Every structure is written in structure tokens, then in C-alpha cells.
Chain A
Amino acid sequence: MKLHACDDEGTSWFLTPGERNLLLTLFSRPIDPRQRARLSRTSEALEEQCQSDLAGELENHRSEVRSRLVVLLGAAATATTTTQTPSGTREDSGWILRLTPEDRESFLQALNELRLGAWEQLGRPDPPEVPADLPLNSPNTLHWWNLEIASRFQGRLISEESLE
């Protein structure tokens, strides 16, 4: 995933076919269950009166964001980019994903939701680093993989910010 272009209306990102398929798969799957977000740690009155508003709003928001990203990824246009390599130029085929500033924030939120869902499934490890002795057949492999891959895309979206 690379920043392809940016203008007043948003940014365009080049995705390889594998990256696009991966993101479509990740955002089309059911959301991992998350621990309930609390509104307050000290006020029981607030928790009682307003917690259901927060829970409902977050659930709707998460679902809408993921649906929107699946639509955007589905609507991405095919493209070819040329990359300079030490041995000459290389042409890569892929997809251009166009993101408005709002879409980009949704993308970041959805990636973080994936990260946190995986982290909770793993039992909230601190630090959240893949154990060196993780067995290849561990049932946690998929959760670690989700955590790592979502972090990678999230890092790319944020780090390219300064290049705009």
C-alpha cells in the first residue's frame, strides 16, 4: 500500500491485488467481540443513564464503517504503476483506492478495531508482541496475524501523512 496522489479532496492509495483481497476479507468477516466500552470509571449515575447510548452508537458506527470500506475497496479502479529498481523499471498492476479525509479516518478506525478485537481474543497481552515460542499450530496464530497485518496498514496510513 503506497500513497499514490493527494489533493484537496483526499488521497489515492495504490494497493497490490493481494493487499486489496486481504483488506476485503478482513472487513467482510464478522467483528471480533469486544469488551464493553465504559463511559465513566467513577460515576455510577453516568454509567446507568448513558451507557446504553454509547454502546449502541459504537456498535452501529463500527458496522457502518466496515460496510463503507468494503464498498470503497470494491469500487477501487485498476491501475498500473512504474517503480524504479536498481535493475531498471518495474511495472506493477494493482488498484487505486480513493479516500476522502473522512474515509481515511474510517479506515484507521476499522483497522484499529481489528487490532483491538484480535488483542482481546489473545487475552490482552502486555506487551502485545508475538511470543517467540508461538507453536505453528497455535489457535492464536490467526489473531496474532490480524494484529500484525492491521498494524502494518495502520502504520502506512499514518506515516505517509507527513508526505502529503
Chain B
Amino acid sequence: MPGTIELPTPEVGAEIESKKVRERDYTVIVWDDPVNLMPYVTHVFQQVFGWGREKAQRHMLEVHKEGRSVVVRDSFEKAEYYVHALQKYSLTATLEPAS
């Protein structure tokens, strides 16, 4: 029709999906790898989470023996912050939806 302006369709579905992703809780998992040294991993946990050496070592050993350790369960924003912080130290850390 002449004179009709066609407006773009808002991507409502994508926005809702993004909101859903951000509203749930997440766990931060540190995975074992053969290259990061054990004292280094302990140090990183102390720095990033402010943990004492004993707690940091416990999680480091869990990573080493079990292959992974859940280090945080929190909101999307906080969990994402911790994953970025851990990956700046080159640890293998990911964010997974909490079950």
C-alpha cells in the first residue's frame, strides 16, 4: 500500500531467551588440565576468591583428583565475573546452569 511504513519486527523471542539465561543461578567449575601447576592454581584461588591457603588447596586437590571442582554458585553476573577472572589466569573455568 503506498505511503505505508513497514516497521521492523522486534526480536522479542531473543530478548526473552536472553533474560531467561541471565535470571537463573550458575555454578563456576574449574576443570583439570595437565599444564597449570598446583601451587599456581592454589595461589589463583586465594587471589580470586580471597580464600585461605587451606580452602584453596582443598579445591585445587579436588580439581586434580576428581577432574573438576565447583568453586562458586551464584547469579549469572557474579558467576560470569569469576569465570572471566579465572580465565585471565588461564585456568580452565566455565559457567554452567545450576541444577
Binding site for B on A (CB under 8 A): 37-43, 45-46, 49-50, 54, 57-58, 61, 105, 108-109, 112-113, 115-116, 119, 124-128, 151, 154-155, 158-159, 161
Contact = CB atoms under 8 A, between A and B. Distances in A.
A105 B89 CA distance: 9
Could you say which of B37, B40, B90 has the most chain A C-beta atoms within 10 Å of its C-beta? B90
Nearest to A37: B87
Interface in B63-99: 80, 83-84, 87-90, 94-97
Interface residues of B, number: 23
B87 A54 contact: yes
Contact of B88 (A42, A58, A119): A58
A54 B83 contact: yes
B73 to A, nearest CB: 15
A1 B94 CA distance: 34
A128 B35 contact: yes
Contacts of A46: 21, 95, 97
Contact of A159 (B34, B39, B47, B80): B39
B54 interface: no
A95 B17 CA distance: 55
Contacts of A113: 90
B55 to A, nearest CB: 16
A155 B43 CA distance: 11
A112 B37 CA distance: 9
Contact of B40 (A49, A112, A126): A112
